[in-house]
Structure 1
Amino acid sequence: MADDADKPARDYRETVFLPDTPFPMRAGLPVKEPEILARWAKLDLYNTIRAERQAAGAPLFVLHDGPPYANGAIHIGHALQKTLKDFVVRSRFAMGFDVDYVPGWDCHGLPIEWKIEEELRGQGRRKDEVSKAEFRERCREYAAKWIDVQREGFKRLGVVGDWENRYATMDYSSEAAIVAEFHKFVTSGQLYRGSKPVMWSPVERTALADAEVEYADVNSPTIWVKFPVVEGSEAARGASIVIWTTTPWTIPANRAISYNNDIAYGVYLVEAMEEGLEFEPWAKAGDKLIVADKLADDVFKTAKIAKTRRIETFDPQGVTAEHPLAGLDSYYQFAVPLLDGDHVTDDAGTGFVHTAPGHGADDYLVWLAHGHREIPETVDPDGAYYDHVALFAGLKVLETEGKKVGKFGPANGAVQEKLIEAGRLLARGRVEHSYPHSWRSKAPVIYRNTPQWFIRMDEPIEDKVHDGKTLRETALNAIEATTFYPAGGKNRIRAMVESRPDWLISRQRAWGAPLAMFVDKETNQPLVDADLNKRIVDLIAAEGADAWFTRPVSDFLGEHDPERFEKVEDILDVWFDSGSTHAFTLENRAHTRWPADLYLEGSDQHRGWFQSSLLESSGTRGRAPYDAILTHGFTMDENGEKMSKSKGNTVDPEVVIRESGAEIIRLWASMIDYSDDSRIGKTILATTTDAYRKLRNTVRYLLGALAGFEASERVALEDMPPLERFILHRLHELDGQVRAAYDGYLFQDVSRPITEFCQVELSQLFFDIRRDALYCDQPSALRRRAARTVMDAVFERLTVWLSPLIPFTMEEAWTTRFPDAPSNCLRVFPETPAAWANPAEAERWAKIQSVTSVVTGALEVERREKRMGAALEAAPVVHIADPELLAAFKGLDAAELFRTSQATLVAGEGPASAFRLAETPGVAVEPIKADGKKCARSWRILPEVGSDPRYPELSLRDAEAVAAWDAERA
């Protein structure tokens, strides 16, 4: 009976204005997002936004899409990059721009060729048994399949763009445009054919550009080889110059030895060998060896030489040596001159550099610098010695078939054995060092002399575009005119362009856009003919690049004699393809412009797409095809390690989307510093999900609190209570921050401040303080109307500020409140009145919150010691010594601010027993229990409860609210 007596006579829950919204707490994003995507598709969202912006005369913003490669499902790196691009597109739309963004794909190149070759092998067919037309068609079908897969993956992430008019480098129109761009280089004289050592992949059977090469550590054989001196000083006669190399297979291609005039060399007589060895060393007492003085001890230690005597200083000038294999075959019986070169150092080795001009860049240059022109051809396209190479014909440097593909072949071992037979090997060992590998196949590459087509970097171009400047100068000027995000990208790409060699653009493969030109057999020069070029481009536009390989030459040459001209069968470097995309995506299309406002890719594209686009455009138009470049880092696992399927540390975006939704990936991307490498994994995604939940709950609370809100409720700024003025001030601050952050592509500076605002100023302050007023005040009460007015302003801004980052959730929130309104994605940032700025109010609330933290601390102690329960049981006495701090509470209800039933503010230090916090001096709190009865509706404990005879269980405020509620329903 006693329990029944404690129960209120009436259940007042129905009179409380609790939040009411169908917006669920649990997002269910994997189900909800596809529904929203379907609505956007029905709306034709991207084109609808563009049409609205164009009708309004909005300024144009162009983001040109760097083409991903069409050969697999999307990975987390794709997801990061495409999401960042979507942040740009959506934020520019929200800032009032008309945004042109056409997604594209890179389709030509080796990885697809390998896949098709693999399929053919599975059918028992070799590539050379298949016509080039069939092979290319299979490549085209393969790329088309993956374009469809990737496109759906990107769309599932919520990426908006002109998907229906996507571009692909394998489209006929694209191939024609690429060839037309190539012809511009031919016509302007920037193209030439040169025979020089280039990075060559025997596995891929093609030349590689610098951008296609990466370096990895390998364990290589290293040898010290003796070259007998045949012409030199008397002391040097009978001596041998010692060279050191990590590529024994290049010894048959040796034509010279390089030295440096700044290095001191000596002739050393071997007087004794080490004793007690388990093998017989190749050196012996009486040998005379020539090495750099600085490196002599290291060389002799390696050769197991115990004692030497320096006979004399050695002057390399005018000295000639003999090839170390000369005694085994007449093929090697030629003079080996000594050539001075700046590339020679005495940091390691012997101070002499074995020089094979067909297999090294420095070797080639020093050979030419001394007047030599003939470059020996030693190794064929398969990485095997040509038949004319004595002793080693047919032996492979690298294996190109079978299980050992990409491994070093027998050439290194065979050369060493022949050097031993000739008595010219001094010592050998192994060394781990950095070695070039193909970026795509991961197989080692070699330098190999082969005729290739290059674009000149350093020859002045006399036309209107360049006005006598070189391509390098034009490109460097273009870099200076470009804005970089982050700024350090400028120095990175500038250093690469300053030092890069001529652009190698030819590849000896089948799947790509061709170097569609003819070469005069007599002059070896390209045939320059505008009518010819037009015929070529027109046929490719109609039939694709296949026309170049399948049609007879007469279809192109017209009146030119086919016997005089050679058709070039090479294809273009795929970087030339992608570097030309601006030409057919930004030019000759409606509602866009050239150059683009922004290119956005990973930081590795400083050597890739950014640079090839820069060089292509600089060579044809005299400037970059972009005004700004934005770069992001790589995605790593949670430990900062590179992701690898073999390690099992990858994050599959499709799995994340299926389990948690695309919004989680998008929010993660918005919260990281994308300019650096970014970590992602289960723990990080769980943290992101928690942050998402807090944002969602904020929006949900706003929706619930705003149920039934009408314009007639609005309260003017001048009538707002101080708390509402403070929140409006924070909205004004955030408006400036958000706009500046989006303008500078600093998405982290959008998501993090907004998240903090939602958690701190809204949830912990505004919502917490105003919860009582929202639930219990009469609908007509100023305090309640003011709070809802401000909440409406918050909702209006949050839903559009966050729309570029988490568009699914903001769309769901907007349509929940306004089901008949147009898509949230069509909105622009609302203007925020300057009158909302109120620094004085912000300063005031900083003081209030510092005092509140002490009160909260005192009540937590009481709760922990079980002397008190909820904060509404308290009536703290708060002593404030600082007059300015005390003045901050003027005109405010301290109990409301402290979330207690009652509160008393007292000037002064307070008793020694009061609770204090060291970080808030001059504030002391006595946690007194509230006196009075508990209101059955608001749960506040007040002496006034029971004063209204109509509602003896309620406070006066609640009694008036219920009376009004009852009267409305009478």
Structure 2
Amino acid sequence: MTAAEPIDYSKTLNLPQTDFPMRAGLPDNEPKLVDRWQGMNLYKKLRESAAGRPLYVLHDGPPYANGNIHIGHALNKVLKDVITRSFQMRGFNSNYVPGWDCHGLPIEWKIEEKYRAEGKNKDEVPVNEFRQECREFAQHWIDVQTVEFKRLGIEGDFDNPYTTMNFHAEARIAGELLKFAMSGQLYRGSKPVMWSVVERTALAEAEVEYQDYESDTIWVKFPVATGSQELADAHVVIWTTTPWTIPGNRAVNYSPRIAYGLYEVTAAENDFGPRPGEKLIFADALAEESFAKAKLEFNRLRTVEGDELASLTLAHPLKGFGGGYEFVVPMLAGDHVTDDAGTGFVHTAPGHGREDFDAWMDAVPELEKRGIDTRLPFTVDDAGFLTKDAPGFGPDREGGAARVIDDNGKKGDANKAVIEALIGANALFARGRLKHSYPHSWRSKKAVIFRNTPQWFVYMDKDLGDATTLRSRALKAIDETRFVPNAGQTRLRAMIEDRPDWVLSRQRAWGVPISVFADADGEILRDEAVNARILEAFEAEGADAWFAEGARERFLGERAGEPWQMVTDILDVWFDSGSTHTFTLEDRPDMKWPADVYLEGSDQHRGWFHSSLLESCGTRGRAPYDAVITHGFTMDEDGRKMSKSLGNTVVPQEIIKQSGADILRLWVMTTDYWEDQRLGKNVIQTNVDAYRKMRNTIRWMLGTLAHDDGEDVALDDMPELERLMLHRIAELDEVVRKGYDAFDFKRITRTLIDFMVLELSAFYFDVRKDALYCDAPSSTKRKASIVVVRHLFDNLVTWLAPMLPFTTEEAWLSRYPDAVSVHLEQFRDIPAEWRNDELAAKWRKVRQVRKVVTGALEIERREKRIGSSLEAAPIVHVADAELRAAIADVDMAEISITSDITILDSDAPAGAFVLEDVKGVGVVPAMAQGTKCARSWRYTSDVGSDPAFPDVSARDAAALHELKTLGRL
């Protein structure tokens, strides 16, 4: 270069250099990283690197293997992945084993749908052939979901997941059932259960959803049969939304806490119902409303006391119909009776309602003393038809038995038949319709009925030999478990406190059978040798062994001649999933029991959390988890539930295709996931914008670190600004670690985004660009800044790695091309001496003054009086003594990115720029004096002081001389 040639000063600057692109291209780049991780077997490397560390176990709640993943799966799996990764990077061996629920109706229903489409009859197919089709169907969707989960960036043992249809798992599930049987907790009983006519099986509470349903409602008159002479010609009136249950009525409940009255009809407008002169008993709070419904006028005659009601027996309103209903109907006190709706009396059909059943069973000893038949009727069969126990409506009915619900889930003719019979018997007071919330099967979406059937149950309140019951054990375990959020504890406790005995049996084909033998009375064979043969066969052949030819003789052995029968019911699938802790946590050497944490949606308080708790407390005396985390459900942007009919569903695969998995993961991290969260195009765009800012911050650090020669700078030799940044790293490290411990990911992401955008990009990096780009290679300020950027990069990228695994891997490999993976790194240990609260307090004041200066300069730019802040040399009036002391030894021109600045100890003059939230500071704008440096663009009075470089400042000239000496100019 000759003196005559102009110097291209841009080539002398240490400008950022990086191949890390500004545009992420996540949809194209992420699959390459998935392939890279699989090719290098990252999962195995993670396990090897963590060998010897303490285990941290999140046990995966199994999704059903029956379709593509939806947004709920994505939310759930990302949360789990972030937890396991964050503990893995903090000194634990945090192994994640994914699992799948493979049994039960969701899969069986799909095979039956296929059969119906092919015109095949399931009952004509050998059971194990049908079960094999279910198994193949489940395996197909396990394979599909595995690919989809990996695409989300989920890291786990996908080569060795747990599945409930694995032979070992089926053997363990059966073994857990046998523990309940051998300990006397399992029994056969007859109770009302929720029954799906469409699916021909009992359902658990976790298998239903509540939808609006329009029911027929009727008010029915029960004539007084015996008791008070003054009420001999009166009727007790009940109200029900299930007319078809009237044939099953066996009692009427009242409450001693409710005020009742005797009423007389004085006028009637209806074509049917009570006539003038009839006497009726109602709760006083409901009489007027009820009479208005029936279009009746009335007089109140007198009060009817509870003792008087207790002395009554009633006649069944259908007495004589169909040749039945000749029994008496007792009046029973009941705590469940209220005067909120109806009549103040509750029609009690113990074969059709849980409260009805309990009220009836509680009264059985007294009723038997009174000579009342206490046998429970079975008035509805599995297909929804009324039976012989409903005379006049069952098989003896002309035209055939009335039906409650048909095979398609539509209302049958049972309600109509019962109402017509009541009108004929002059027993109907009034009728109507009511839209209310009613249980539906969540698979068929059809209404269920409550039906008394023989089923297999586990006792909730039987003494287990140690003065505890399953209920008391479960409640104690809940109290000992950490819940996030805390409300989950209250919710689960309430469910356990009120739940009935656990019904385990299902009338299906695909699942683990209730592998016990019982006699005609329901007594269970308790024989360890038989049990051992069952479990040995299941381990080798799976649960299909129960349905194989000759299974009874094979398992009973020398006892085959005894009258033991194989139970053919299938275990509730929630028992399967509730047992996963046994064959996953206990049986795998890379796991531990109990798990540190379970995490699922809030619906699992009545599902997996619930069944796992009961199963484990029944067999091991405690919960299989130490902590329970729940997340809410994803709604659309307007807060509506997502549904295909509304066209507002958001599919994770589409988000990944358009924006990338890390954008979806960032959305999960920024939500209040403990509550219901919202998702849509605008929400995604907000996260795209936030991601772009974070990515650009990382990109700038990578570009700056291209000039990192690895040299360190002692803490004491660093400028205050660098020491402030190290202090902030120490503060953030505490926030991040506490946030991961609290599973409060939103706090972490919000804190880090704000730090990267507001404190780094808009402050520290902006201030230090001059020193980094322009200072001489030997500059301590420049070296110290590079050291700080190095620490910022290492900490920020590792902190973010659990959340944004793709982006952080890309950034890490860009910085460290010889590295294996960022996910094999640990969070950095932060030196205690970095923490400097006194320095941070001082710089909070410095930044307050700076905020006023930058605010004033922004107006100057907006009004086009300056183009760059380097054109300014503002005059700053600082009247506040504390602020003035804070900035006394600080180069405020450098911090404010101006060419010069003047600080005055005085009140701000009229017209000065001030901010309401920074008292005692005012800024008067002024233009910088001197000449603009051709290299740094700062205005100084020493431009041209070095004749070798006449158009730059003395600082820049010195840097150029040093570069020349190093051969870089």
3-state SS of 1:100 partner? coil
Task: Give the C-alpha shift of residue 468 in structure 1.
Answer: 2.8
Query: 1:449 matched to which residue of 2?
Result: 452
3-state SS of 1:165 partner? coil
Q: 1:299 aligns with which of 290, 293, 299?
A: 290
Q: C-alpha separation between the residues in 1 aligned to 2:903 and 2:258?
A: 86
Indicate if the aligned counterparts of 2:378 and 2:452 stay in contact, CA closer than 8 A. yes
TM-score of the superposition, structure 2-length normalised? 0.95
3-state SS of 1:869 partner? coil
Query: 1:3 matched to which residue of 2?
Result: none
The answer to whether residue 274 in structure 2 is matched with residue 283 in structure 1 is yes
3-state SS of 1:101 partner? coil
The answer to whether residue 376 in structure 2 is matched with residue 385 in structure 1 is no
Q: C-alpha separation between the residues in 2 aligned to 1:809 and 1:310?
A: 81
The answer to whether residue 321 in structure 2 is matched with residue 320 in structure 1 is no
Counting only pairs closer than 5 Å after superposition, residues 209-220 of structure 1 correspond to structure 2 as 209-220=204-215
Indicate if the aligned counterparts of 2:404 and 2:412 stay in contact, CA closer than 8 A. yes
AA at the equivalent of 1:377: F
Q: 1:260 to 1:879 in 2, by over 3 A?
A: closer
The answer to whether residue 125 in structure 2 is matched with residue 149 in structure 1 is no
Indicate if the aligned counterparts of 1:281 and 1:304 stay in contact, CA closer than 8 A. no
Task: Give the C-alpha shift of residue 659 in structure 1.
Answer: 0.7
Query: 1:346 matched to which residue of 2?
Result: 339
Task: Give the C-alpha shift of residue 445 in structure 1.
Answer: 1.4
Task: Give the C-alpha shift of residue 560 in structure 1.
Answer: 0.6
Counting only pairs closer than 5 Å after superposition, residues 954-965 of structure 1 correspond to structure 2 as 954-965=952-963
Q: C-alpha separation between the residues in 2 aligned to 1:366 and 1:493?
A: 25
Query: 1:376 matched to which residue of 2?
Result: 377
Query: 2:528 matched to which residue of 1?
Result: 530
The answer to whether residue 432 in structure 2 is matched with residue 432 in structure 1 is no
Q: C-alpha separation between the residues in 2 aligned to 1:960 and 1:473?
A: 80
Indicate if the aligned counterparts of 1:273 and 1:307 stay in contact, CA closer than 8 A. no
AA at the equivalent of 2:130: F
Task: Give the C-alpha shift of residue 916 in structure 1.
Answer: 2.0
Indicate if the aligned counterparts of 2:877 and 2:906 stay in contact, CA closer than 8 A. yes
Q: C-alpha separation between the residues in 2 aligned to 1:155 and 1:351?
A: 58
Task: Give the C-alpha shift of residue 603 in structure 1.
Answer: 1.4
Task: Give the C-alpha shift of residue 563 in structure 1.
Answer: 5.1
Q: 1:829 aligns with which of 823, 827, 830?
A: 827
Query: 2:728 matched to which residue of 1?
Result: 730
3-state SS of 1:695 partner? helix
Query: 1:133 matched to which residue of 2?
Result: 128
Indicate if the aligned counterparts of 1:8 and 1:953 stay in contact, CA closer than 8 A. no
Q: For structure 1, which segment, 468-477 or 385-394, has the greater mean C-alpha deviation from structure 2 after superposition?
A: 385-394
Query: 1:18 matched to which residue of 2?
Result: 15
Task: Give the C-alpha shift of residue 541 in structure 1.
Answer: 1.4
3-state SS of 2:653 partner? helix
Indicate if the aligned counterparts of 1:579 and 1:613 stay in contact, CA closer than 8 A. yes
Query: 1:798 matched to which residue of 2?
Result: 796
Query: 2:153 matched to which residue of 1?
Result: 158
Query: 1:399 matched to which residue of 2?
Result: 405
Indicate if the aligned counterparts of 2:104 and 2:573 stay in contact, CA closer than 8 A. yes
Q: Percent identity, please.
A: 56
Query: 2:88 matched to which residue of 1?
Result: 93
Indicate if the aligned counterparts of 1:484 and 1:628 stay in contact, CA closer than 8 A. yes
Q: C-alpha separation between the residues in 2 aligned to 1:21 and 1:312?
A: 90
Q: C-alpha separation between the residues in 2 aligned to 1:921 and 1:352?
A: 71
The answer to whether residue 165 in structure 2 is matched with residue 170 in structure 1 is yes
Q: 1:310 aligns with which of 301, 311, 335?
A: 301
Q: C-alpha separation between the residues in 2 aligned to 1:348 and 1:388?
A: 30
Q: C-alpha separation between the residues in 1 aligned to 2:5 and 2:311?
A: 114
Q: C-alpha separation between the residues in 2 aligned to 1:480 and 1:364?
A: 30
The answer to whether residue 639 in structure 2 is matched with residue 640 in structure 1 is yes
Task: Give the C-alpha shift of residue 129 in structure 1.
Answer: 2.0
Q: C-alpha separation between the residues in 2 aligned to 1:505 and 1:760?
A: 57
Task: Give the C-alpha shift of residue 756 in structure 1.
Answer: 1.0
The answer to whether residue 413 in structure 2 is matched with residue 410 in structure 1 is yes
Q: 1:550 aligns with which of 529, 548, 551?
A: 548
Task: Give the C-alpha shift of residue 67 in structure 1.
Answer: 0.4
Q: Report the aligned-residue RMSD.
A: 1.8
Indicate if the aligned counterparts of 1:399 and 1:407 stay in contact, CA closer than 8 A. yes
Question: What are the superposed Cα offsets for residues 796-846 of structure 1, whole Å, 9 maximum, x if unpaired?
Answer: 111111111111111111111111122111011111111111112212211
Task: Give the C-alpha shift of residue 398 in structure 1.
Answer: 4.1
Query: 2:676 matched to which residue of 1?
Result: 677
Q: 2:253 aligns with which of 247, 251, 258?
A: 258
The answer to whether residue 641 in structure 2 is matched with residue 650 in structure 1 is no
TM-score of the superposition, structure 1-length normalised? 0.95
Q: 1:749 aligns with which of 747, 750, 753?
A: 747
Task: Give the C-alpha shift of residue 892 in structure 1.
Answer: 3.0
Q: C-alpha separation between the residues in 2 aligned to 1:514 and 1:441?
A: 23
Indicate if the aligned counterparts of 1:201 and 1:445 stay in contact, CA closer than 8 A. yes
Q: C-alpha separation between the residues in 2 aligned to 1:165 and 1:865?
A: 66
Q: C-alpha separation between the residues in 1 aligned to 2:440 and 2:236?
A: 31
Q: C-alpha separation between the residues in 1 aligned to 2:157 and 2:222?
A: 66
3-state SS of 1:452 partner? strand
Q: 1:74 aligns with which of 69, 83, 107?
A: 69
Indicate if the aligned counterparts of 1:269 and 1:311 stay in contact, CA closer than 8 A. no
Indicate if the aligned counterparts of 1:416 and 1:425 stay in contact, CA closer than 8 A. yes
AA at the equivalent of 1:117: E
Question: What are the superposed Cα offsets for residues 300-349 of structure 1, whole Å, 9 maximum, x if unpaired?
Answer: 22222223352674722332322222243212232222223222223322
Q: 1:851 to 1:317 in 2, by over 3 A?
A: closer
AA at the equivalent of 1:341: G
Indicate if the aligned counterparts of 2:61 and 2:598 stay in contact, CA closer than 8 A. yes
Q: 1:453 to 1:859 in 2, by over 3 A?
A: same
Query: 1:614 matched to which residue of 2?
Result: 613
Task: Give the C-alpha shift of residue 387 in structure 1.
Answer: 4.7
Q: C-alpha separation between the residues in 1 aligned to 2:429 and 2:915?
A: 79
Q: C-alpha separation between the residues in 2 aligned to 1:875 and 1:491?
A: 62
Task: Give the C-alpha shift of residue 396 in structure 1.
Answer: 5.1
AA at the equivalent of 1:422: A
Q: C-alpha separation between the residues in 1 aligned to 2:5 and 2:689?
A: 39
Q: C-alpha separation between the residues in 1 aligned to 2:637 and 2:162?
A: 35
Query: 1:711 matched to which residue of 2?
Result: 710
Q: C-alpha separation between the residues in 2 aligned to 1:778 and 1:95?
A: 39
Task: Give the C-alpha shift of residue 693 in structure 1.
Answer: 0.7
Indicate if the aligned counterparts of 1:60 and 1:98 stay in contact, CA closer than 8 A. yes
The answer to whether residue 335 in structure 2 is matched with residue 329 in structure 1 is no
Q: C-alpha separation between the residues in 1 aligned to 2:339 and 2:922?
A: 75
Unaligned runs of 5+ in 1: 1-6
Q: 1:860 to 1:309 in 2, by over 3 A?
A: closer
Indicate if the aligned counterparts of 2:377 and 2:389 stay in contact, CA closer than 8 A. no
Indicate if the aligned counterparts of 1:942 and 1:955 stay in contact, CA closer than 8 A. yes
Q: 1:303 to 1:905 in 2, by over 3 A?
A: same
Q: 1:28 aligns with which of 25, 30, 37?
A: 25
Query: 1:244 matched to which residue of 2?
Result: 239
Task: Give the C-alpha shift of residue 361 in structure 1.
Answer: 1.6
Counting only pairs closer than 5 Å after superposition, residues 880-919 of structure 1 correspond to structure 2 as 880-919=878-917
Question: What are the superposed Cα offsets for residues 402-455 of structure 1, whole Å, 9 maximum, x if unpaired?
Answer: xxx223211111111111122221211112222222233332111111111110
Question: What are the superposed Cα offsets for residues 115-162 of structure 1, whole Å, 9 maximum, x if unpaired?
Answer: 111100111112222221121111111111111111111111111111
Q: C-alpha separation between the residues in 2 aligned to 1:110 and 1:822?
A: 44
Indicate if the aligned counterparts of 1:270 and 1:309 stay in contact, CA closer than 8 A. no
Q: C-alpha separation between the residues in 2 aligned to 1:398 and 1:656?
A: 45
Task: Give the C-alpha shift of residue 711 in structure 1.
Answer: 2.1
Query: 1:366 matched to which residue of 2?
Result: 359
Indicate if the aligned counterparts of 2:517 and 2:565 stay in contact, CA closer than 8 A. yes
Unaligned runs of 5+ in 2: 365-372, 395-399
3-state SS of 1:160 partner? coil
Task: Give the C-alpha shift of residue 918 in structure 1.
Answer: 2.4
Task: Give the C-alpha shift of residue 480 in structure 1.
Answer: 1.6
Query: 2:103 matched to which residue of 1?
Result: 108
The answer to whether residue 62 in structure 2 is matched with residue 64 in structure 1 is no
Query: 2:223 matched to which residue of 1?
Result: 228
